[in-house]
Amino acid sequence: MDAISVIRTKRDRGELTPEQIDWVIDAYTRGEVADEQMSALAMAILLNGMNRTEIARWTAAMIASGERMDFAALSRPTTDKHSTGGVGDKITLPLAPLVAACGAAVPQLSGRGLGHTGGTLDKLESIPGWRAHLSNEEMLSVLEGTGAVICAAGDGLAPADKKLYALRDVTGTVEAIPLIASSIMSKKIAEGTGALVLDVKVGSGAFMKTIDDARELASTMVALGTDSGVRTVALLTDMSTPLGLTAGNALEVRESVEVLAGGGPRDVIDLTLALAREMLDAAGLKDADPEKALADGSAMDVWRRMISAQGGDPDAELPVAREQHVVTARSSGVLTRLDAYGVGVAAWRLGAGRARKEDPVQAGAGIEMHAKPGDSVTAGQPLLTLHTDTPEKFEYALKALPDACDIAPAGTEFTPTPVVRERIA
C-alpha cells in the first residue's frame, strides 16, 4: 500500500477497498502517512463522498486504532447523547442528571468549543474545582455512584480520530459528511454505550445548514450505530435561533441549574425532555417519567452529586464578567429573527470560545438574550447584554450582530419553528 494510490482512488471517484482504508488509517496514526497526504485524501472525500460500506469500514478502522470501553459491570443500562453543536446548546448539563435520575447510566464523553459553537467541558469548567479529565476507573466509579458522568474522552479512545479531527479543522474539510459521521460514531461506539441518541442541529448556527444535509448526516450515523449493535436514533433539531436565553460558559451553567430547579426557558426544557424520553426508551426504561424527575428535584440531586464527584462545588458562585454592554431594539414591533450564527460569533469574539484548541476561554464571557422570536419589543429596550473581561472586544463582537435581529411591525403574525423537526431511526 502507498498513500498516493489511495488518494488517487478517491480523487478519481473510485471506491476505497477495506484494505486501503485499514492501511491508511493505521499508517496515518503511526505517522507513516504525512499530514499533507491525509489532507489531500480528506479533500477528495469531501468532494467525492463515500458509500455506506466505505464509511462503515473507515469508522471501524478508527475504532481499532485505540481502546474500547466496557460498561457491562454497571448495575444500570447505559445510554448516551451526542449533539453536533450549536449556540446556547447547554442541553447536556440538565439532560445527563435527569436521565440518571430515571434509572439509566449516562457516560457522557464531551468536547470543547471551537469557533462559534460552545463546548460542554468549557461550560462545566466555569464551576470552581470541577475537572474534566478522569481515568477510566474514576469514570466508572462516578457512573456507578451517581448514574451520570460528563468528562473528556481519554487519549486511548479512537486516537486516529483525534489526529484527523485536528487536521480537518485546519484544511477546510470539517463539513465532509462521511468524516463527520465516522468521527462522531467511532468515539461513541468505542465508548461502549448500549444506546445512543443523536441531536443533529440544523440551521444558521449549526454545521448542517439545510434539512437535507442534516437528514443525510443523521441517517448515516444511525446506520453506523445500528450496524455496530448500538441502539441509535436521531432527532433533527432547530439551530436557526440560539437555545435558551444565554450563550457563554458560566451563563449557560446558571441557566441549566434553573432548568434543574424547575424553571428555565421553554425551548431548553422541551428539548431536554424530548431527548430524555428517547434515551430512556432506547435504554429499555419506557415507563420512566423524566418530567416528574425534573419537577420533584431528583434530577437536581443527581447534578449536585455528579459535580461534587468530579471535584466541583455545586454551591460556589460562578464567574461573572467584569464588563457589560447592552444592545437595544432599534424599533418597536415583533422580533421575528434572532440569528444563531451571529450570536454565536459575537459570543466567541467576546472570549467565550476559541479559534484554536489551545486557546483559553473566559468563563464569564458571552451573551444574554432578553427577547426571543415571537416576543413584542419596544424601541430602546434591551435585546442583548454582552459580557466580557476585556472591553476592547466589544467593538469586534458587535460587528457580528447588526444583521442578527429582524423586527417586524406590531401585530405581525409569527409562527415559530419547532425545536424538534424530525426523528430518524
Instruction: List residues with catalytic annotation.
Output: 82, 161, 168, 183, 187
Angstrom distance (rounded) from CA 334 to CA 336: 6
The angle formed by the CA atoms of residues 30, 33 and 37, to the nearest 5 degrees, is 150
Cell numbers 477510566 correspond to what residue?
A: 136
The grid coordinates listed for 165 are 479531527
Q: Are 213 and 177 in contact (CB under 8 A)?
A: yes
3-state SS assignment for residue 312: coil
Contact 266, 415 (CB under 8 A): no
425: its cell numbers: 431511526
Contact 61, 21 (CB under 8 A): yes
Closest C-alpha to 62, from 153, 176, 189, 166: 189
Report the alpha-carbon distance of residue 416 to residue 121 in Å, rounded: 30
b/e map 407-418, b = 16+ CB within 10 Å: beeeeeeeeeee
Q: What is the DSSP string of 90-115?
A: -THHHHHHHHHHTT-BEEEEE---BT
CA-closest candidate to residue 247, choices 375, 109, 382, 85: 85
Which DSSP symbol is given to 288?
Answer: -
Collapsed DSSP state (helix, strand, coil) of residue 75: coil
Distance CA 44, CA 190 (A): 26
User: 138 pairs with which residues across the strands?
Assistant: none
